[in-house]
Amino acid sequence: MSTHYETLGVAKDATGQEIKSAYRKLARKLHPDVNPSQDAAEQFKLVTRAYEVLSDEQKRANYDATGDENGNGQQGFGGGGFGGFGDIFEQFFGGAGGQQGPMSRTQPGRDALITVTIDLEDAVKGTVYPLEMESAVTCKVCNGSCCREGTSPVTCSICHGAGQVQRPVRSFLGQMMTVETCAACRGYGTTIPDPCVECNGEGRVREHVSKQLNIPAGVASGTRIQLRGQGEAGPGGGPNGNLFVEIDVRRHKIFERDHNDLHAKMSLPMTAAALGCELKLETFDGEQTVNVESGAQDGDTVTLPGLGVPRLRGGKRGDIVVHLQVVTPTKLDAAQRDLLEQLAKLRGEEMTAGQVEQSGGMFARLRDKLHQR
């Protein structure tokens, strides 16, 4: 079996330009538009495949190293036919492929994406949101036919319904025929001499549309809800695309969401933290009591189970987690200071610099280690 270099008739160290020139020279002789014989068609496939491999630096390097153009011990034409011939032919001759036939005026509509902003309470409970938007809808006058009432499209007199026309062009292969979209009918194969005056022959118009969107409980910012078939109507009475609604949840003045839990901060006086107390918190389920045990410290949390955000597809709700912030008084009058000093004496909590060092803290332990060395 000949190598790709032998197929193109070039040396193994041929430059890219030499490979390209050799391919062009052979293509002039073997192209099906020039030489319709079966042998020429087979040879043209081999020449095209050889050029496809050798014109690509990575493929050529792999082929030189292994003799395998695919890197897996298999050679061929990409699964049948001319393999990569279409891409190469398009590169050289501008893509004069086979005739595809007329296009349909009826096309599916585009998908649409809008964003709605809701409150956190709506995300917790779910809600019905009124959507107001501009969209393409099927023309009610012509029902998507694009034509004035009582008329219909007629076959194009230029392409005779093919949607494409052929024209000769000159190339290095000689004169060839290329296929182009018919300019008279824009590829549809028919023309509309009497278009609908409402939609100007498009079969759809833009209107203000109102919809009701059911937002389920548990949505979060970034959640997308798909409404099938509620996007833009297609041209020529084509089916509607889909409507995607992306949810954006506003920040709440009290709660901060973490997955399905809600977190809130509550401040309480130092005395209340020491003695214990009950705090009131307004939640999405009404007012709740937060029980603070005596001796609560700054940063402690109290959990209200089952009052958070439900899972999006149903199931157990998250919790509300209350973070306690113990407030230390900063301005004391004489009486208040006297009372605190008395409390400190009763609890043995008079703190001096010497006592801090003797309290067995981190610095005291570090000092003891240094003395032991």
Whether residue 267 is found in the same domain as residue 302: yes
Whether residue 226 is found in the same domain as residue 349: no
Q: Which residue has the tokens 């496809």?
A: 52
pTM of the predicted model as reported, rounded to 2 decimal places: 0.59
* C-alpha dist (Å) from residue 194 to 141, 183, 199, 235, 319: 14, 18, 12, 17, 65
pLDDT at 355 over 90: no
Whether residue 120 is found in the same domain as residue 54: no
Residues 107-112 have a mean pLDDT of: 91
In the sheet that holds 301-304, the strands lie side by side as 256-258, 261-269, 320-327, 301-304
Lowest mean pLDDT among 54-58, 153-157, 166-170, 179-183: 166-170
pLDDT at 93 over 60: no
Cα distance between residue 346 and residue 349, in whole Å: 8
Whether residue 318 is found in the same domain as residue 345: no
Which residues, listed in sequence order, are joined to residue 304 by a DSSP beta bridge?
Answer: 320
- 74, 134 contact by CB (below 8 A): no
Report yes or no on 31 lying in a domain: yes
Domain that holds residue 362: 334-372
Instruction: Look at residue 256 in the predicted model and tell me its pLDDT.
Output: 94
pLDDT at 49 over 60: yes
The angle subtended at Cα 261 by Cα 224 and Cα 299, nearest 5°, is: 140
Instruction: Assign 99 a pLDDT band (cuts: 50, 70, 90).
Output: very low
Instruction: Look at residue 319 in the predicted model and tell me its pLDDT.
Output: 95
- Nearest CA to 6 among 46, 61, 38, 42? 46
Whether residue 291 is found in the same domain as residue 212: no
* Beta strand 154-155 pairing with 164-171: unpaired
Whether residue 121 is found in the same domain as residue 212: yes
Please tell me whether residue 354 adopts helix, strand or coil conformation: helix
- Nearest CA to 135 among 209, 245, 235? 209
Whether residue 203 is found in the same domain as residue 289: no
Count of domains for the chain: 4
Instruction: Look at residue 181 in the predicted model and tell me its pLDDT.
Output: 85
Instruction: Look at residue 352 in the predicted model and tell me its pLDDT.
Output: 53
Cα distance between residue 361 and residue 365, in whole Å: 6
The residue among 41 and 337 whose pLDDT is bigger is 337
Instruction: Assign 353 a pLDDT band (cuts: 50, 70, 90).
Output: very low
273: Cα within 13 Å, side-chain hemisphere: 19
* Beta strand 261-269 pairing with 320-327: parallel
Residues 299-322 have a mean pLDDT of: 91
Report yes or no on 174 lying in a domain: no
Report yes or no on 159 lying in a domain: no
Residue 168 structure tokens? 């000769």
Whether residue 34 is found in the same domain as residue 88: yes
Per-residue pLDDT tens digits for 219-242? 999 999 999 999 999 999 899 999
The residue among 259 and 178 whose pLDDT is bigger is 259
pLDDT at 32 over 90: no
Whether residue 146 is found in the same domain as residue 220: yes
Cα distance between residue 256 and residue 174, in whole Å: 74
Report yes or no on 102 lying in a domain: no
Whether residue 261 is found in the same domain as residue 245: no
Instruction: Assign 322 a pLDDT band (cuts: 50, 70, 90).
Output: very high
Instruction: Look at residue 123 in the predicted model and tell me its pLDDT.
Output: 93
* Beta strand 243-249 pairing with 112-118: parallel
Whether residue 200 is found in the same domain as residue 301: no
Per-residue pLDDT tens digits for 51-88? 888 888 888 888 887 776 654 434 444 333 444 444 44
Instruction: Look at residue 170 in the predicted model and tell me its pLDDT.
Output: 67
**What is the average pLDDT score of the chain?**
82
